[in-house]
Each structure stands twice: as structure tokens, then as C-alpha cells.
Amino acid sequence: MVEYILGLLDAGGPVVYVLGVLSLISLSIIVVKLIKFNGVLSGRKRIEAALGQVQARQNEMALQGLKTRSPSERVLAYAIAGAQNRIPQNVLDAEVERRGNAEIEILNRGIRMLEVIALVSPLLGLLGTVLGMIQSFQELEMAEGAANASVLAGGIWQALLTTAVGLVVAIPAAIGASLFSATVERAAHLIETSVGRLNLIVNAPQSR
């Protein structure tokens, strides 16, 4: 298997080597993101329980029930603690927004690189194909039309190989970038919803 892969690299030329490097980068990012995204959308039940406890004026129990595994729980825990410590609402809102943005920024790291790889890889594959076809027709011209058909077929096969490799590299990167971006959007929505519901509970008029 290793010899076969090395043979493809040699046949495809420098473009395939570049695509191989991009593939390693892409797979590394995907693996790292899968590990870091584990539990990002978890804790919905704990959030519901915490909001119910805040409504019952049991802030300490709410804080104890929240874990720091997911971004929404971390931001909500800070917001509950800030409200409990009577931090001015405008100051608390600004800090909660900053922390929420920081959490989303961390989640977004690496996704842009996947998008770039998904965009560039097919173009590199096409470039390799064009260069390979140019080389094949140059050999045909040098042979004055007497080139062996098998030689031309081999050259064309090598040229098309770069396009196939480019697509193989691009497809996982595009899928990963799309899925990770959707997860980030859901995490951001969960943060906004949790904090918004908390503000409604905290700022609700007290019944006499």
C-alpha cells in the first residue's frame, strides 16, 4: 500500500506532493476539531435546570449544577455569578458578550483553513492536469506524430491523476468545514438563548 501511494506521488509530480501536504493538514485539523467539539452542544438539561433554580432564587445550586464542558454553560455560569454579585447590567452584558464571542472565536479556529484547502485543492489538481497535458503534447510534437499511443496514454493518465487527488483532498475538507461551521452556529445560538432567558428571569418584575 505504501509503495502504491509513493508511486502515485512520483507519477503525479510536484503538484501531488503539495496536495499530499494539504491532505495531512486537513486531516490533522479535522481530528483536532472532532476532539475539541466533543461536548460543545451538551448540557441542555443542566442549563434548563440551572435557569429553573435561578428563577427559584437558588443561584448557588444553579452554579453547582453547571459544568464547564460546553461554551454555553461557561458563559451562563459567569452571567449567573455576575447577576448574583450585582454587577451593573450594562457592564455584565458587555462582559458576557465578550466571553461569548471569545468562545465562538476559539471554535472557529481552523475552519477557515479547511475552507481554503477545499477551494484550492481542485484548482491545484486542474493545474497539474494542464501541465501534464502540455508535457504530453510536447512529447508528441518532439516525436513528430510518431509517438507510441501507450506513451501518450500514460502521460494523460498521470495528468488526470492530479485532478483526482485534488478532489480527494477537497471533499473531506469541504464536508468538515461545513459541519464544523454548522456546529459553531448552533453553539452560538445556544449561548444567546441561555443568556437571553437568564436576563428575562433576572430582570422580571418582582410580584408582591
Residues 28 and 117 in one domain: yes
Residues 26 and 73 in one domain: no
Residues 115 and 177 in one domain: yes
Q: What is the pLDDT of residue 208?
A: 42
> Would the pTM of this model clear 0.85, i.e. be above it?
no
- Determine, yes or no, domain membership for 208: no
Range of the domain at 63: 44-107+192-202
Q: What is the pLDDT of residue 115?
A: 96
Q: What is the mean pLDDT of the chain?
A: 84
110-124 in b/e burial notation, b at 16+ Cβ within 10 A? bbebbbebbebbbeb
Q: Which helix (H) or strand (E) holds 80?
A: helix 71-84
Residues 25 and 64 in one domain: no
Can you tell me whether residue 38 is helix, strand or coil? coil
In total, how many domains does the chain have? 2
